[in-house]
Amino acid sequence: MPTAIESADAAAWKEPTPPSSRLRWLFLCVSVLLLALLLLSGALTVRFLGEMRTQELAATRALADRTRALSGLWLSIQSYDQAVQQFVAQTAADRDAEARRRLDQLTLEIASDFERYPRIRDSEEDALLNGMRHVFVQQRTMYITVLAARPAERRRQADNLAAEHLVPVQKQILDWSGKLQAWNGERLQHADRDLVSQFANLQGNLSRVLAVGFGSGLLLVLASMAFIVRLDRQTRARYVELARSQHALQQLSARLVDAQETERRAISRELHDEVGQSLGALLVDIGRLSTMLSDGPPEIRAEVKAQLDNLKSVAERTFQSVRNMALLLRPSMLDDLGLAAALEWQGREVSRRSQIEVSVDSESIPEDLPDEHKIYIYRLVQEALNNAVRHSGARNARVVAELKGESHNCQSIVVRVTDDGHGFDPARTRGMGILGMEERVKRLGGNLHVDSEPGKGTTVTAELPIPAAVPA
């Protein structure tokens, strides 16, 4: 029956729909978006900073290249000038050819120096460079006319040349070169200014992103906190409700157990006192009638005696079954002999009825326990032994009931029922019987523990505190 009721209950029980999950999804999406935003802006910033660094490097390298090219050019022009001066100053005709070759070579070098100047340049720089080249070309044209003269004439012209042409031209070249240098410096400054403004731009962007991220994060946090607080309140309310209903359920089941016990006791007493005693009296009377019969006439004696014997056996059988019913409902041993004797009796009774031999050790428990404790311990052992008989296939069972604790204030009774049957897995199998036992023990403030393993037998242990008001 219990299983049928359980399955019916299970069918009637519906999974309650959990509170809306849409809000949760919303929170998740917003969080993910926020994280993505932060990640993206971080990545962009890193990339941008990298670009800025490359730009800066390019600008400084460009400046360095130009400066180097310019100084090389300057040096070449200087050497050319010197070579021209020497050429003009010398008179020996035999070395003329060699000096000319050297001049040509220097000219080539200067041309290549011009070529080596970085090709990437804007129109202004181009103009400056071309100006410089132009001055050099002018200078060279002038030199060529000088160089074409004979050595004697050249010497005559030499002083004149140095004073009138060389110095201004050199100054002019220096000017151009200085201009170019200044322009380069300006360009670097320009690039720096560019970078600074770009950086400021980036800073602004980053701050905006951070502000947006922080703001929405704050909103998200506030919203989730509100959500959590709401959930927490709901959970608390539900927990309280659950605890209350559990308590009510326990109360109810305890009352049921009590009511059952009272009812059983009443029926048992009724059976024992009324039906049983009437039958007992009947038996005594029948016995007396049979003895009195010996005085009667022999012809009716046999017939009446047979009738009486028949009556007697019927009455005896009824008497037995009434007695057994009464015992099942309420073990009169508990009232007549006390708990220890009742447990021993139960052990023998189970041994008689079943294949299990039960040994009971309960001598040490006090007899002045509250009635409630006695009946609970009795029922607990009854349930455990019944389980052992029905399910375990055990050959032996042992019931131990003993007093635990030294002082009178904190004593408890430990009841242990062990069998050597095939056991079960208590985590998976939890029958109505065990639940009922647990409920009973809990009601008295104790605890129940089922220890079993497939193939290892079963031990049911219960510990019940004894109320301090009852001296042990």
Partner 1 sequence: MNQNSVKQTSVLLADDHTLIRAGLRMVVAAQPDLTVVGEANDGREAVAMAERFKPDVAVMDIGMPNLNGIEAARQIRAALPETQVVMLSMHSDEGYVLRALKAGAKAYLLKDSAEADLARAIRAAAAGKSFFSPAVGQVLLQDYMRRLERTGAEDTYELLSPREREILQLVAEGKSSKEIANLLNLSAYTVETHRANLMQKLNLRSVPELILYAVRKGIIS
Q: Which residues bind partner 1 (CB under 8 A)?
A: 272-273, 276-278, 280-281, 283-288, 291, 316, 319-320, 323, 332-333, 335-337, 341-342, 344-345, 348-349, 351-352, 357, 395-396
**Beta carbon nearer to partner 1, 146 or 315:** 315
Q: How far is the CB of 351 from partner 1 (least distance, A)?
A: 7
Give the residue with the Cβ less far from partner 1, 170 or 278: 278
Minimum CB separation of residue 306 from partner 1 in Å reads: 18
In the complex, what is the shortest distance from the CB of residue 364 to partner 1, in angstroms, rounded to a whole number? 15
Sequence-separated (6 or more) residues with CB below 8 Å from residue 360: 343, 344, 346, 347, 398, 399, 400
CA 74 distance to own-chain centroid = 73
H helix runs in 294-414, sequence order: 298-329, 332-336, 339-353, 371-387
Cβ count near 200 (within 10 Å): 10
* Smallest distance, partner 1 to C-beta of residue 257, A: 25
Q: Distance between CA 64 and CA 70 in Å, rounded?
A: 10
- Using the 8-state DSSP alphabet, how is residue 149 labeled? S
At its nearest, how many Å lie between partner 1 and the CB of residue 327?
A: 8
How many beta carbons lie within 10 A of that of residue 135, not counting itself?
A: 21
At residue 431, the 3 state secondary structure works out as coil
CA nearest to 146, candidates 168, 130, 132, 164: 164
Tell me the closest approach of the beta carbon of residue 398 to partner 1, in angstroms.
12
Distances (CA, A) of 39 to 210, 214, 224, 330: 11, 13, 22, 77
d(CA 109, CA 448): 108
Report how far residue 373's alpha carbon sits from residue 371's, in angstroms, rounded to the nearest whole number: 5
Residue among 87 and 345 whose Cβ is closer to partner 1? 345
In the structure encoding, which two tokens stand for residue 384, read together? 């455990």
Q: How far is the CB of 439 from partner 1 (least distance, A)?
A: 29
Tokens linked to 347: 């052990």
Measured between its terminal Cα atoms, the distance across the chain in Å is: 41
DSSP strands (E only) in 63-151: none
* Shortest distance (Å) from residue 332 CB to partner 1: 6
**By C-beta, is 181 or 318 nearer to partner 1?**
318
Measured from the CB atom, the residue of 70 and 286 that comes closer to partner 1 is: 286
| Nearer residue to partner 1 within complex by CB, 96 or 361 | 361
Q: Which is nearer to partner 1, 213 or 280 (CB)?
A: 280
Q: In whole angstroms, what is the distance from residue 452 CA to residue 443 CA?
A: 24
CB-nearer residue toward partner 1: 223 or 282: 282
